[in-house]
A and B are shown apart, each in its own frame.
Chain A
Amino acid sequence: AQSVTQLDSQVPVFEEAPVELRCNYSSSVSVYLFWYVQYPNQGLQLLLKYLSGSTLVKGINGFEAEFNKSQTSFHLRKPSVHISDTAEYFCAVRDTGFQKLVFGTGTRLLVSP
């Protein structure tokens, strides 16, 4: 069964600094990869997804992620964060043959002035 590991439970960063949120998944023949953001008392909003093709994926709000098959990683990056980026971020994987999403435990991004 697929699994996702988010190595950092919390990442504190200052406003306008760069950030990387790490995600590793268990190996499979082929997978679809996703990053979701969750603001307090809200549902999940899709930031970006990797289905195939270019390994560098650009998403909303200036986020991007790079799919690395050899390292089974899908790290999320932003070159300059804002206070409004403070939220919980979830990495998820879906086997191409199955419908369900498997989520990591989440990384809380805390942006301070």
Chain B
Amino acid sequence: ETGVTQSPTHLIKTRGQQVTLRCSSQSGHNTVSWYQQALGQGPQFIFQYYREEENGRGNFPPRFSGLQFPNYSSELNVNALELDDSALYLCASSPRESPTEAFFGQGTRLTVV
């Protein structure tokens, strides 16, 4: 059974560009959440997807959007990148039978210059 995998591991983008981050959920997990972790901070909830629909959203602007696919993999899209978007982006998946437990991937380190 594979864990949660994210790609790419590192990414450098220019201010104003768009970026797509990918997450492959752990087998059997139908809920995926995305978090942003700025340097020296705890992770902040961006949004969650369940059965391909957004199921909750944190305090992030609409330029942060996502998708969940039938195989439960997921994407995080960020438009019009700003310098403050530089952070570690973490994906977490949860199994249907234990929705309280979140399994995290290793993250994607995004640097906006």
Q: Which residues of A contact B (CB under 8 A)?
A: 4, 32, 36, 41-46, 49, 51, 90, 92, 94, 98-106
Contacts and interface: CB of A to CB of B under 8 A. Distances in A.
Given A101-B45, A105-B42, A46 B101 contact: yes
Contacts of A92: 42
Nearest to B105: A43
Interface in B6-53: 6, 31, 33, 35, 40-45, 48, 50
Contact of B107 (A4, A36, A43, A49): A43
B41 A105 contact: yes
Contacts of B6: 43
Interface of B: 4, 6, 31, 33, 35, 40-45, 48, 50, 55-56, 58, 90, 92, 99-107, 109
Contact of B45 (A4, A49, A51, A102): A102
B103 A46 contact: yes
Given A103-B42, A105-B41, A44 B104 contact: yes
Contacts of B99: 99
Contacts of A43: 4, 6, 90, 104-107
